[in-house]
Copies of this chain bind each other. A is one copy, B any other.
Amino acid sequence: MSAPLQTCPTGAMIIGAEPVIGTGKEIRSSDPRTGAALDPAYPTASAEHVERACALAAQAFPVFRATTAERRAEFLERIADLIDKRQDLLVERAHAETALPRPRLTGEVGRTSGQLRLFAAELRAGSWQGARIDPARLDRVPLPRPDIRQRRIALGPVAVFGASNFPLAFSTAGGDTASALAAGCPVVVKAHQAHLGTAELVARAIAEAAADTGMPEGVFSQVVGSGTDIGAQLVRDPRIRAVGFTGSRQGGLAIAAAAAARPVPIPVYAEMSSINPVLLLPAALGSRGAELGAAFVGSLTLGAGQFCTNPGLVLMVEGPGLDAFTKAAADAVATNPGATMLTIGIADHYAAAGDAIAARDGVDELACGSRSGDAAGGCARLLTVDGARFVADPGLQAEAFGATSLLVRCADIAELTAAVSALEGQLTATVHADEADHPLAAKLLPLLEERAGRILFDGWPTGVEVGHAMVHGGPFPATTDPRSTSVGTLAIERFLRPVAYQDVPAALLPAEVQDDNPVGVWRRLDGEPSRDALATESAD
């Protein structure tokens, strides 16, 4: 038996069932308010530690993927229960490491456990298995048709790189881990340096849940590293079969390039960069410009602007309401007290990226909020440019990860359309439209569909529902793979592949494609969705 798992951070990684102290250079998370290094120190993993985590994951894989959906659901629910039980501890540690407000972190604990429970429910519902049966047709001419059945199986061990901005919901037990475990894939997490203690606490909860529910050793590990060595080793390890990543464009592209260069390339699901355009259509702008301006800044400054879906771009046409919107937004930004960003590095990058946009030809600064005196302080910032310039200068689409937004004033609808057409891929696109705007919205909608994973009307993109219909993804550079989502139940499909069974004897068939449908899943029988048993041919 392993030593009893602790509930306060000790500086350990989790490798298989065991807490393990690294042997490399010590790293620490720090308090973004003061820059002070936090205890405990985390000695980084050696190459042997990563090797062992991958070896254990590969060893766990055949056992774990063969567990029933019900058993994996219980595992996920147990993780959720332990995370909920340790809410206070998690919130305190995450608050120390990220300076995110406690209510936001409390919500994030609930989101994290809720997400795990949603995948448990999805596992039991079973549509994810993609079961299909084309029964034999022995009387077909010229040749009889064989019996063919299909289901999806897990890809293999998955490497997960957590996000800086959601220390819980997009990190150690976040959406990537939850969907990979649901699919039957063991997970090796590289903990984010910005919240090592939170990561350790969550990793311990996962390891404890794995032990409680009898999951094989190696189903989950978490390693700690600084720089890119440990991450690169993970991505290159032949036993790793897919990667989930949330972070910078630079980081995502480096991982995707490493994965493509492997002797056996693997899928990379990297969520990277998005400026989340907001379109204010003329009637809406005219009828509620000032109101939109204030609400926009509320979304812009939420979480110090550090949401992947932060509205970094506003597109509108010169006309009634534009000045009212601009004034209201500028006033709100100017009086914004500023906020502590997640890390000093993020705050530095944010300031530099905003300066770079502000320095481009034709860009004017409309307003700048206060900067908090904290080490990682950041200030809200509003820039503006005209539509023609925006269309001509792709550099204006750079992401400044934080509360900076660029207001684009288009001369007319044609210029607005050109600006939309010039957009790179996005996680979201938001439209504010009154009923009189609907004909224009109908024309713009197809352009937005081609450029974004989620389109929302008359709301704000920050805030991502976790459900069945959510898409948190989108064309490059929002992600490296627009065919999927990292939030919501569809995310499980990222870690599955189809297998067909031809004339496989009944006794050897997986449960979900057996004639009598013992697990009660939805299947396509000769193409038609059904939960019925397969009508078997009369024996006489």
A residues neighboring B (CB under 8 Å):
62, 66, 121-122, 125, 127, 130, 132-134, 143, 145-146, 148-150, 153, 155-156, 256-257, 260, 264-265, 267, 425, 433, 438, 441-442, 445-446, 449-450, 452-459, 463, 465, 467-471, 473, 475-477, 480-485, 489-490, 496-505, 507-508, 522, 524, 526-529
- Quick one: closest B residue to A142, CB to CB? B107
A148/B500 in contact, CB under 8 A: no
A499/B481 in contact, CB under 8 A: no
Q: Return the 10 tightest CB-CB contacts between A and B, nearest first.
A: A456-B502, A471-B500, A260-B260, A150-B469, A132-B469, A454-B500, A148-B469, A134-B467, A134-B469, A482-B497
Report how far A122 CA is from B524 CA in the complex, Å: 12
Some 29 contacts from A to B, beta carbons below 8 A apart, are: A121-B527, A125-B528, A132-B469, A133-B469, A134-B469, A145-B465, A146-B459, A148-B469, A148-B470, A150-B469, A150-B470, A260-B260, A260-B265, A264-B475, A264-B476, A267-B481, A267-B483, A438-B505, A453-B498, A453-B499, A457-B505, A465-B502, A468-B526, A469-B500, A483-B497, A483-B498, A484-B498, A522-B529, A529-B529
Q: A127-B524, A457-B504, A490-B498 are in contact. List 20 more A-B contacts (CB 8 A).
A: A66-B446, A125-B528, A132-B469, A134-B469, A145-B465, A146-B456, A148-B465, A155-B482, A264-B425, A264-B476, A265-B476, A441-B505, A442-B508, A454-B501, A456-B502, A457-B505, A459-B502, A469-B524, A482-B497, A522-B529
A489/B264 in contact, CB under 8 A: no
Which residues from B are CB-within-8-Å of A441?
505, 508
- Quick one: closest B residue to A125, CB to CB? B527
B465/A503 in contact, CB under 8 A: no
Report how far A66 CA is from B449 CA in the complex, Å: 11
Closest Cβ–Cβ distance, residue A146 to chain B (whole Å): 6
Q: A134-B465, A503-B456 are in contact. Are A498 and B476 (CB under 8 A)?
A: no
Which residues from B are CB-within-8-Å of A459?
146, 502-503
Closest Cβ–Cβ distance, residue A425 to chain B (whole Å): 8
A260/B256 in contact, CB under 8 A: yes
Report how far A483 CA is from B130 CA in the complex, Å: 12
B468/A527 in contact, CB under 8 A: yes
Which residues from B are CB-within-8-Å of A121?
527
Which residues from B are CB-within-8-Å of A267?
481, 483
B452/A499 in contact, CB under 8 A: yes
Interface centre among A62, A130, A481, A499, by most chain B C-beta atoms within 10 angstroms, is: A499
Which residues from B are CB-within-8-Å of A133?
469
A470/B500 in contact, CB under 8 A: yes
A127/B529 in contact, CB under 8 A: yes
Report how far A288 CA is from B453 CA in the complex, Å: 56
Which residues from B are CB-within-8-Å of A454?
499-502
- Quick one: closest B residue to A62, CB to CB? B446
Report how far A265 CA is from B490 CA in the complex, Å: 22
B467/A148 in contact, CB under 8 A: yes
Closest Cβ–Cβ distance, residue A169 to chain B (whole Å): 15
Report how far A265 CA is from B475 CA in the complex, Å: 10
B481/A498 in contact, CB under 8 A: no
B476/A149 in contact, CB under 8 A: no
Which residues from B are CB-within-8-Å of A433?
505
A122/B499 in contact, CB under 8 A: no
Report how far A507 CA is from B156 CA in the complex, Å: 43
Which residues from B are CB-within-8-Å of A153?
449-450
Report how far A256 CA is from B481 CA in the complex, Å: 14
Report how far A130 CA is from B150 CA in the complex, Å: 18
Which residues from B are CB-within-8-Å of A522?
529
Report how far A130 CA is from B482 CA in the complex, Å: 15
Report how far A324 CA is from B287 CA in the complex, Å: 87
**Set B66, B453, B468, B502: member contacting A455, Cβ < 8 A:** B502
Q: A481-B267, A489-B527 are in contact. Are A455 and B146 (CB under 8 A)?
A: no
Report how far A260 CA is from B500 CA in the complex, Å: 29
Report how far A468 CA is from B507 CA in the complex, Å: 22
Report how far A496 CA is from B480 CA in the complex, Å: 15
B496/A483 in contact, CB under 8 A: yes
Report how far A130 CA is from B146 CA in the complex, Å: 28
- Quick one: closest B residue to A522, CB to CB? B529
